[in-house]
Amino acid sequence: MMHKRVLLVGSTLGSATSGLLYLASYLRRAGIEAYCQLNDTNVNKALLKNNIERLLTRVDPSLVGVSIKWFPHIARGLEICKIIKELSPDTKIVLGGNTASYYWEKLIVYPDVDYIILGDGEAPLLNLCKTGSSPSNLVDIDSEYGDISYIENEKSTDVYLSHLNEIFVDDDDIKRCNNIFVYTGKRCNSNCFYCGGCATAMNRTFGASKPFFRDTEIVKNDLHEAKAYTKKILFDFDFEPGKMSQLDYFDEIFSDELKQLSAYFYFWKLPQPATVNLLAQKFSNLTISIDLASLSEGHRMRLQSTPDLGVKPQPKDKEIIELFELVENQTNATLDVNTILGMPMVTMQDLDENRNLAEKLINYKMLGEIQWGRLHAQPGAPILEKCEKYDMKLLARTFEDFLKFSRFNLDMEEYPDWRNLKYPYILYNDAKLFAATLMNYQEVNGILKKRVLEKDRGMLHT
């Protein structure tokens, strides 16, 4: 066996992708002594280096896996690799994650990177540990092309959580485990123009985009394992399972033993009333997060009806209000709204509609947050090839561009949390339109801040 002790870390500040837990579990069941740091609180380079040195001393791995899932953390991931090689030159390093897989040809030339896993990583990583190579999904500096033939699907019943009592590097990491993400399914067959996780990008990085739900017994096992280490479970998947309805699927996987836990569901489309009622019964506290392409109904409908943009189905305002009314009647539920500022084809009327909907939503006591993210470039997102058509311009298109923005984050005095990361925005060429959307953003945020103050003072009414 080539690598008997393995350490897995993320490049993100805060909680890393829980995929590291699934990888470490898979290795443990195969006899590999795998460890994982799930939560990284090191906000500057000095603390980061001290932490890596501590981890290397504690685990003494011959192989370290570094996840670079999201592009804002490319530079931090490479910095982690550099520190590892400085402290332990003989330790091998393997990268994985969406961004590492997408840009493997650019990243494999870095001297501190020995291997990169492409796509799903469980079997390729185990092969690397046992033999020093893998028949698929693994590249090194001598690789001329990347073969992705190991692709997980609904039959991949050997990927699940286990051995969590052995995987965490230390007790402090467990104490920082505020939540754990549990996979109910994977992939997406939508091609939303702004998303780096769309079908086109998933085909390139994982060799497949067809979504699948995981077997109910496997998910129930994961939930049983996770509940001992966290009080909150996260979910982010929203397709019909096929063999049963989504409602029946949820009813089967969520047992009574979870009633003391909180749950956060990120829905890609509005959930059905029966689903909301069921989830509110299954958990002590429930947060539902919905994804809107815009706060303006007219804008949402235009985006949805433009085939070139591939935007998933969008709800009407009436449907959104009906969902708010439903959740308002639950005693243990809140509702978050996620939307994007700076989408193409916006009009001045849309900006008024943004404000109007926000003013309606703030009157609901169960409103959690309205989170506005500015439209930005992402590796693999279709907008990279289409922005000029919509009179917009990119601040990043190539690997070098994305690396530059990730370095902005790394070089800050304190590494930013997810709300304050530097992103390469996509901007309108029309300066007046750009100024108007920013003013609208400030106005709507002012409405939301007023709502927060009224809620704190007990003045909020319905």
Do 385 and 436 fall into the same domain? yes
Helix (H), strand (E) counts: the chain: 17, 18
Taken as a whole, the chain contains a residue count of: 462
Identify the CA nearest to 427 among candidates 354, 375, 362, 361. 375
pTM of the model: 0.95
Whether 126 and 207 share a structural domain: no
Amino acid 319: pLDDT: 98
Alpha carbon distances (Å) from 184 to 73, 93, 154, 189, 231 = 26, 30, 10, 16, 18
Mean pLDDT of the chain: 93
The single-letter DSSP state of residue 5 is E
Indicate whether 185 and 270 sit together in one domain. yes
* 153 to 157, 212, 334: CA distances (angstroms): 9, 6, 32
Per-residue model confidence as pLDDT tens digits over 418-449? 889 999 999 999 999 999 999 998 998 888 87
190 and 320 share one domain = yes
Query: pLDDT tens digits for 307-331?
Result: 999 999 999 999 999 999 999 999 9
Please give the Cα distance from 27 to 167 (Å, whole number): 10
Expressed as residue numbers, the domain containing 31 is: 5-139
Same domain, 190 and 91: no
pLDDT exceeds cutoff 60 at 457: no
Query: For the segment 74-99, what is each residue's pLDDT rounded down to a tens digit?
Result: 999 999 999 999 999 999 999 999 99
Phi, psi of 42 (to 5 degrees): -90, 105
Which CATH number belongs to the domain containing residue 355 in this structure? 3.80.30.20
Residues 196 and 302 in one domain: yes
Contact 24, 163 (CB under 8 A): yes
DSSP letter (8 states) at residue 191: -
- Other C-beta atoms closer than 10 Å to the C-beta of 96 total 29
Q: Is residue 172 part of a domain?
A: no
Task: Report the candidate in 310, 345, 342, 343 with the shortest Cα–Cα distance to residue 192.
Answer: 310
Closest CA to 125 of 82, 67, 212: 67
**Is 4 in contact with 63 (CB distance < 8 Å)?**
no
Considering its fold, how many domains does the chain have in total? 2
Res 456: pLDDT: 57
